[in-house]
Structure 1
Amino acid sequence: MTTTTMDIDSARQVLAAQPFARLVGTEITEFGGGRATLVIPVRDELRQQFGFVHGGVLSYAADNALTFAAGTVLGPNVLTGGFTVTYLRPAAGDRLRAEAVVAGSTRRQAVVNCEIYAESSDAEPVLCAVAQGTTRVVERAL
């Protein structure tokens, strides 16, 4: 098995190729060394009935950040094997920031932790969710 190293520009191309990421408006701001950070601008379409960011958006952010972080150590052909997310506080603000870090990896899988922050220009970031997941190498070209 050969892993291909990606840089942040390649990671941005992969993200841009994901229709759902484009729909949500996701950007990748950090990629490399077992880490990835995704940023999602908050807009009304991403909110639930109480005005907070929908939990599905937080789960998506965790899932994608986990997989991108794993891709920095396993190569680009990775998929999520599973993850758990715990919502700590309602997410409100101008944007979400999902920071993922590889906790450990083998040649074929990685365990990754993620913290999701709600950010506003007039306040300190608020940790609103945490997640942990496993990603696996896919043997065929994607």
Structure 2
Amino acid sequence: MTTTNGTGGPVTAPATLDLGLARQVLAAQPFSRLLGARLAAFGEGTATLEVELREDLRQQNGFAHGGVLAYAADNALTFAAGSVLGPAILTGGLGLQYLRPARAGTLRAEARVIHAGARQAVCGCELFAVDGTGEAVLCAVAQGTVLRSGAPRP
């Protein structure tokens, strides 16, 4: 994925990032494993993360807990940015607007890079509740900034 930076120059992610490696990174996150999150798509400035809306991920009214939607948006945004910036990144900020409850099926967070520079990317995300027939209902939208963090600490 090549995207332009603030001065019009290209920003290109390392060629070694792919869906298989991204899935390994997700599997190494204990909280993501707890939620049963999976990456359905990754690369070229986009990422799609999915979570089955199990009973234990619901709040008292039977809707998916807002924290589950926030998690999905955060991770999808970060993976989308990672496809451009590389793997040593952290979320710098996240804004989320809930539109309607996610009731059942699969929560799908579809993120894309809106703008990337050498050190940060601004990303957008749409969150859908997808039922068994494939019908998707938009539940929330998010925007976030992801920053290069340098080499990860051991």
TM range, normalised to the smaller chain? over 0.9
1:36 maps to 47
1:128 maps to 139
1:4 maps to 14
Code of the aligned partner of 1:32: G
- Residues in 2 aligned to 1:134 and 1:31: alpha-carbon distance in whole angstroms: 18
Query: Residue 104 of structure 2 contacts residue 130 of structure 2 at CA under 8 Å; is this kept in 1?
Result: yes
Q: Deviations over 1:9-39 (max 9, x none)?
A: 0000000000000000000011000000001
- Residues in 2 aligned to 1:111 and 1:48: alpha-carbon distance in whole angstroms: 30
Q: What is the percent sequence identity of the aligned residues?
A: 57
Query: Residue 92 of structure 1 contacts residue 119 of structure 1 at CA under 8 Å; is this kept in 2?
Result: no
1:75 maps to 86
Runs of 4+ in 1 over 6 A off after TM superposition: none
SS at match of 2:87: coil
Total equivalences in the alignment: 141
SS at match of 2:32: helix
Query: Residue 113 of structure 1 contacts residue 132 of structure 1 at CA under 8 Å; is this kept in 2?
Result: yes
Structure 2: segments with no counterpart, 5+ residues: 1-11
1:140 maps to 151
Q: Deviations over 1:42-84 (max 9, x none)?
A: 1011000000000000000000000000000000011000010
Higher gyration radius (CA): 2
Alignment TM-score, normalising by the size of structure 2: 0.88
Alignment TM-score, normalising by the size of structure 1: 0.95
- Residues in 1 aligned to 2:113 and 2:56: alpha-carbon distance in whole angstroms: 31
Q: 1:96 aligns with which of 100, 103, 107?
A: 107
Q: CA deviation at 1:87?
A: 0.1
SS at match of 1:140: coil
- Residues in 2 aligned to 1:11 and 1:122: alpha-carbon distance in whole angstroms: 28
- Residues in 2 aligned to 1:17 and 1:4: alpha-carbon distance in whole angstroms: 20
